[in-house]
Amino acid sequence: GQNIDQPTEMTATEGAIVQINCTYQTSGFNGLFWYQQHAGEAPTFLSYNVLDGLEEKGRFSSVLSRSKGYSYLLLKELQMKDSASYLCAVMDSNYQLIWGAGTKLIIKP
Amino acid sequence: NAGVTQTPKFRVLKTGQSMTLLCAQDMNHEYMYWYRQDPGMGLRLIHYSVGEGTTAKGEVPDGYNVSRIKKQNFLLGLESAAPSQTSVYFCASTMGGSSTDTQYFGPGTRLTVL
């Protein structure tokens, strides 16, 4: 079967750095996506990785290791508005997204 | 440019009732998707469409039907609602089906079936 694993919840302090991990087992791989979802809102796109390595967008970075079936999202200089759920999704061989359950990130002052 | 819109935003149904959820996008996207999101689970694909007049089943299609008569609209129907269909429903669209196409989501419909 296909499986995406993420921690259910994490807590971090404002101004700090946090790493959210995602491991996956899917039938085929055509890229890995990270989305942010604030409570009661729609998911919004954060990043996309298809090759091993780092993608950076401002305070957010994502890293992929295809050989390990692993990715992580790194959030720097945390702000209160970063409190949200972070969803990892893998595009499988049929070009359909398989979604993790999401990691709820709580930021404390 | 409104992006992806969904109506209604909230709905309460009784078991056995029917309803239609409407998704509209103004980005001229070819692909459209219907997902459901339940606590503790990832988004699950119900049905999708790769173009006007086409539809296909996703991971959890039972109990739902869809139609894509116009390119900009994707309708999700529940013929006989069941409590197990209580969920948040998201519509999404992409330009095409390639791996680099970002999915744009609507604001969601919160459905409760009593």
Spatial neighbors of B62 by CB under 8 A, at least 6 apart, are none
pLDDT in tens, A60-92: 999 999 999 999 999 999 999 999 999 999 999
Q: Does A31 touch chain B (CB under 8 A)?
A: yes
**Tokens coding A101:** 């359950």
Rounded to an integer, what distance in angstroms lies between the CA atom of residue B86 and that of residue A55? 37
pLDDT over 70 for what percent of chain A?
A: 100
Stretch (H or E) spanning B6: strand B4-7
> How many residue contacts between A and B have a Cβ separation below 8 Å?
49
Rounded to an integer, what distance in angstroms lies between the CA atom of residue A98 and that of residue B59? 10
Q: Does B83 touch chain A (CB under 8 A)?
A: no
Residues in chain A, overall count: 109
User: Which of A97, A103, A104 is best to mutate for the B interface (most B CBs within 10 A)?
Assistant: A97
Which of B 1-40 lie inside 8 A of A, CB atoms?
A: 40
* B31 in Cβ contact with B48 (< 8 Å): yes
User: Which pLDDT does position B63 carry in this prediction?
Assistant: 96
Strand partners, A74: A19, A61
Q: What's the distance, CA B53 to chain centroid?
A: 16
- How many other C-beta atoms are found inside a 10 Å radius of the C-beta of residue A10? 16
* A73 in Cβ contact with A11 (< 8 Å): no
Q: Does B44 touch chain A (CB under 8 A)?
A: yes
Over 90: is that where the pLDDT of B2 sits?
Answer: no
Q: Which chain A residues have a beta carbon less than 8 Å from that of B107?
A: 41-42
Q: Contact A99/B42, CB-based, under 8 Å?
A: yes
Considering only residues B4 and A96, tell me which one the structure prediction assigns the higher pLDDT: B4
Place of tokens 């990715």: A71
In 3D space, the residue among B47, B8, B44 whose CA is nearest the CA of residue B31 turns out to be: B47
- Per-residue confidence at A37, pLDDT binned at 50, 70, 90? very high
- Per-residue confidence at A1, pLDDT binned at 50, 70, 90? confident
Identity of the residue numbered A23: T
Strand partners, A106: A11
| Average pLDDT value for residue range B42-57 | 95
Q: Which chain A residues have a beta carbon less than 8 Å from that of B48?
A: 96
Q: Contact A99/B102, CB-based, under 8 Å?
A: no
pLDDT in tens, B64-104: 999 999 999 999 999 999 999 999 999 999 988 777 788 99
User: Which of B23, B41, B103 is best to mutate for the A interface (most A CBs within 10 A)?
Assistant: B103
